[in-house]
Chains A and B, each alone.
Chain A
Amino acid sequence: MKLLLNLVRKDFKRNRVITTALAVFLILSAVFMAGGLRVTGIMLSSLNGLNKIAVPPEYVQMHKGEYDEQAFADFVAKQDYLEDALVVRMLNVNNAQIICNGESLEKCLMDNGFVTQNENFDYLLDQNNEIAIVQDGEIGVPVYYAEGLNLRAGDTIVLQNGDYQKEFKVATIIRDSTMNSSLSYSKRFLISANDQNEVALHMGEWEYCFEFLLAEEVAPTVLEKAYLEAGLPSNGVAVTAGIFNMINAFSYGLVALVIIVISILLITMSVLCLSYIIRATLAEENHSIGEMKAIGIPGKEIIKLYQIKYIILVLIAGVIGYLAAIPFGEFFSATVIRYCGDGSSQWMQWLFPLVGVVLLSIFVVFRCHRIIRKHLKRTVMALIRGEENIKKEGHYRLPSKGLKVGNFSMALGELKCKWKEYFVIFLIFVFSSFLILLPMNMNNTINNPVFLTYMGIGKSDVRIDIQYSDNLAQQNEAVMTYLENDPAIERYAVYQNGYVQSQNIDGEWEYLRVQNGENAVFPLEYLEGQAPQEENEMALSYLNAVDLGKKVGDSITVSYQGKERILNVCGIYQDITYGGKTAKAAIDFDSKDIEGYMIYLDLQEGIDIDSKVAQMRTILPNSKITPCNEFVYQTLSSIITNMNRVQGVAVVISLILTILITVMFLQLMMAREHSAIAVKKAIGFSTRDIRVQLGIRILVIQFVAIIAGTLLANTLGEAIFAGMLATVGVAKIKLLVEPVWAYLLCPAVQLGVVVMTIIIGTNTVRSYHIREQIME
């Protein structure tokens, strides 16, 4: 053993470059493997953990105004498929009256309610994922505000209405399994029952959430239908668990999925690199293996010698990788942990990377064992002469018209013969390019204003919502009068929301939320077909189309005021509003059936949107007026911030990996081709020629790889993106590519990085002495 260790020590000294290359890649592989699996473990634990403890409701009906408590209790008693039900009293306070650290929430898009802790289910959790408790004078702040406004425990929140002022001290940051996400337009602050009652005397409006837990395998539509038929209070939106999951998953699950995909990519890349580097480094050992065989060292001992070297390296790499995975995992999963907590399966984040590192080590030792055994089967002379390497490559032909661009022709010729050697670096470059472009394209898609139209929201300057009020018609009239008379308004369109009934796949009648209005003025992006143009046409949201089993061209029977009508499905669009289940058709709703109005408007060129919105808010105080850019920012900002972060890290990792693999590949290439380099020098090629030839070979490979990576990012990437979105409940969405970045700047940066690496990496060719190389 001592002798073996001694030999290994000497081998490390003798083959510094090769051993360093091997060590670097082993460490990188271990870091990516352990890091990727740690992130996966954290995500799985975190995403599952929140729901497990918070127990979100499976159906929620919001309601503003009074309701009959007895009727509700009777309804609950009659439905045997209900596991539990509760009524959450939420005191909605005007945003302008909420002052956080001296600043009001006037510009905030969210509706803010003040609630007490629930009993039995739908708990609001603190940052330890325990049921949050606040005392009188204390408040629990949604994590959305803690992130956005940088609120911390100890800060002050004041509710103010005229002379009345109530001060709260932030006691905890709240995780809310139903309303965590920025895509959920309501946020809940937790206060004590005494404080809620006190504040209600001075300000706010009560809103009720009727929440239900269903028995297993009971669809929310069963409850929805029974609820509406019972005529129970429904002056507000109804949301199912599926929708909560969708918007939660979209907010932080999407980023988590992107990170997991990146981790899988990195693991694949590192295994590829490692597999290549083991093969390449052991190929360099042929001569030594031949020598050992020649002097009679048994095959088993030779295998042991090399395995010890690899075991030592892989142990060091494993420990470094496992430790480095801790900050790696923390960095990537910080946001998800902030919103969802560590979860109940924290063992995953420790066990997953351990298993990964062990598997990687077994892979390395096994691969090493197999390659050496294969080498040992050859004769001593074949090993010493390195015959196998020569046989495989073949030769290329010099151009008959001479070497006009000599270096280029030779580099291409050599590439043709050695393409198998370059296959791994090609794959690495493809993955590297893919790794940069996938998050970038996703980010661009989400950042693009068109994205909101994919989400069911028309592209306009300002949106006005009139809903949940007893005098909708008057409010709408007031808004119309204002819009008609304000010259700053370029155009507007009014949409009415109401319900009709339609038959689902099983032939049962379901309520369907329909929007009526000029759909062509502020059009959406349709996944299929187009917006309704005729009276007998109806467009369905993707989720409705799936639920009702309809596609474009099918007919759909709807019933309104007892009259049945057959409409043609003319288009399918994506929607995340109103639980993702909406439809668009020319239904002439009775004014009493109109649930709300929505108005999209564009301002004249040059009008400042923010100041106009501020002015409109004072003129139309009862309407919710939101500038659309603010809507995008407040809705998607957390996703965009996280995606930016992921994108930045992906670019850095990808470029570092590109540099490393290029350096290592160059080192191995130069080590393998030292005699060819010497021959070239001897017959008159300059050092510069040789460096250019080496560089061209890698750059050609990289160029093709970038094209392949870009194509993959646009095709496979789109499929992955669609798959991720499908996982979070959103239908297919086209990737919106920023061509300048994707097709020009990114490839240029990657090529530039490789050019720089080649310039530095091939510098050693200068010091190659022909004599030394020829004599070896």
Chain B
Amino acid sequence: MINIEGISKSFKDTKVLNDVSFEIEKGDFTAVMGASGSGKSTLLYSVSGMDNISAGQVIFEGVNISELRERELSRFRLTKMGFVFQNAQMLKNLSIYDNIILPGLVAKKELPEKIRKRASELMGRMEISGIENRDIKEVSGGQLQRASICRAMINKPDILFLDEPTGALNSEATEQVLEILEELNNEGMTIMIVTHDPRVAAKAKKVLYIRDGQIAASKDLRNGSGSEFELGNWLKEVHL
């Protein structure tokens, strides 16, 4: 689905990503881990086209996104990608509900009624019904993060990108979000997530460990080696 071919990214004289290549298959759940400053978030933003890359290419379903013009890339993001950030980034002048339906209304792929119906369904599924008309400051962090997952899902994207989605949440809220992600992935949604939390990474099918801008190690968790304990041991190994 996505071929990442030798991408590099530099900030001034510092190389944050250095010739990174890997592949994301449809239905994958890829977790990217690494120490602070290792380049894991940069990798996510580079793959999703939110950040320019210095070298290499990202081929998304046959389209080289580095070559897209800004407007085309925006449309691409709108219709094919969903994003969830560490601090649920929402527009403060819209209610929770309007934040969720906004990408659907902007994309204009479907009738507004259909988008609203899906938003309500998603909210029900995420167990946040009832907060539709609230201001973004009137709900808890967990509710807000689940609302941002709803927003990311509103246009039925091909892939969901998540950057530390549980970083600012308590354990209970983290658990809720993880359950949702797992469920979505089981239904066929492709997910790429950046996290430093082994609990989160344990839900993935594949873990990439980034060190100094390169993939230092990767682990396939589909063979049943995805317990938190095993992952923890693996991380200790690769971290050394």
Contacts and interface: CB of A to CB of B under 8 A. Distances in A.
Interface of A: 387, 390-391, 393-398, 400-403, 406, 413-414, 417-418, 675-676, 678-689, 766, 769-771, 774-775
Contact of B94 (A395, A686, A774): A395
A686 B78 CA distance: 10
A684 to B, nearest CB: 2
B176 to A, nearest CB: 22
10 contacts: A387-B137, A393-B93, A394-B135, A402-B105, A414-B93, A682-B85, A684-B79, A686-B70, A770-B51, A771-B42
A685 B106 CA distance: 8
A689 B74 CA distance: 10
Contacts of A387: 137
A402 B95 contact: no
Contacts of B151: 683
Q: Looking at A395, A403, A686, A775, which has the most chain B CB atoms within 10 Å of its CB? A: A395
Contacts of A675: 89
Given A686-B70, A771-B41, A679 B91 contact: yes
Contacts of A683: 77-78, 83, 102-103, 106, 151
A400 B98 CA distance: 10
B50 A770 contact: yes
B217 to A, nearest CB: 25
Given A402-B108, A766-B70, A771-B51, 8 more contacts: A387-B137, A395-B94, A396-B98, A398-B101, A414-B93, A684-B74, A686-B71, A770-B50
Contact of B105 (A390, A398, A418, A680): A398
B74 A390 contact: no
Main SS of the interface on chain B? helix
Nearest to B80: A684
A337 B90 CA distance: 62
A774 B98 contact: no
B45 interface: yes
Contacts of A770: 45, 50-51
Contact of A395 (B50, B70, B79, B95): B95
Contacts of A398: 94, 98, 101-102, 105
B95 A397 contact: yes
A683 B95 CA distance: 16
Contacts of B83: 682-683
B222 interface: no
B26 interface: no
Nearest to A770: B50
A679 B77 CA distance: 12
Q: Looking at B91, B111, B136, B151, which has the most chain A CB atoms within 10 Å of its CB? A: B91
A774 B148 CA distance: 14
Which 7 residue pairs are nearest across A and B when measured between Cβ atoms? A684-B78, A402-B112, A686-B74, A417-B93, A403-B105, A771-B45, A770-B50
B89 A678 contact: yes
A393 B93 CA distance: 7
Contacts of A401: 112
A395 B92 CA distance: 7
A417 B108 CA distance: 25
A331 B113 CA distance: 64
Contacts of A774: 85, 89, 163
Q: Looking at B89, B112, B151, which has the most chain A CB atoms within 10 Å of its CB? A: B89
Nearest to B155: A684
Nearest to A686: B74
Given A395-B98, A402-B108, A403-B108, A684 B85 contact: no
A391 B112 contact: no
Nearest to A414: B93
B92 A676 contact: yes
A396 B101 CA distance: 13
A769 B136 CA distance: 24
A400 B105 CA distance: 10
Contact of A396 (B50, B71, B89, B93): B93
Nearest to A406: B106
Contact of A394 (B42, B79, B93): B93
A406 B52 CA distance: 27
Nearest to A385: B137
A390 B71 contact: no
Given A396-B94, A771-B42, A682 B137 contact: no
Nearest to A398: B98
A416 to B, nearest CB: 8
B121 to A, nearest CB: 18
A688 B71 contact: yes
B36 to A, nearest CB: 12
Contact of A682 (B50, B70, B94, B106): B50
A680 B91 CA distance: 8
Nearest to B93: A417
B106 A676 contact: no
Nearest to B52: A769
A685 B94 CA distance: 16
B44 to A, nearest CB: 9
B98 A685 contact: no
Contacts of B75: 684, 686
A388 to B, nearest CB: 11
A676 B91 contact: yes
A393 B50 CA distance: 29
Contacts of A396: 93-94, 98
A398 B111 CA distance: 14
A208 B172 CA distance: 106
A397 B89 contact: no
B63 to A, nearest CB: 16
Nearest to B151: A683
B28 to A, nearest CB: 21
Contacts of A393: 92-93
Q: Looking at B52, B75, B90, B92, which has the most chain A CB atoms within 10 Å of its CB? A: B92
B32 to A, nearest CB: 14
A678 B107 CA distance: 18
A68 B90 CA distance: 97
B113 to A, nearest CB: 9
B77 A682 contact: yes
A714 B120 CA distance: 53
A414 B92 CA distance: 10
A402 B111 CA distance: 8
A735 to B, nearest CB: 41
Contacts of B74: 681, 684-687, 689
Q: Looking at A398, A406, A684, which has the most chain B CB atoms within 10 Å of its CB? A: A684
Contacts of B93: 393-396, 413-414, 417-418, 676
A682 to B, nearest CB: 5
B41 A775 contact: yes
Contacts of A394: 93, 135
Nearest to B89: A679
A134 B57 CA distance: 91
Contacts of A418: 93
Contact of A403 (B89, B90, B106): B106
Q: Looking at B78, B93, B105, which has the most chain A CB atoms within 10 Å of its CB? A: B93
Contacts of B85: 682, 774
Contacts of B50: 681-682, 769-771
Contacts of A687: 70-71, 74
A676 B102 CA distance: 13
B112 A400 contact: yes
Interface string B62-92: 0000000011001101110001010001111
Nearest to A675: B89
A236 to B, nearest CB: 75
Contacts of A406: 105-106
Contacts of B78: 683-685
A611 to B, nearest CB: 68
Nearest to A389: B92
Nearest to B152: A683
Contacts of A403: 105-106, 108
Nearest to A690: B74
A679 B152 CA distance: 12
Nearest to B90: A679
Contacts of B70: 686-688, 766
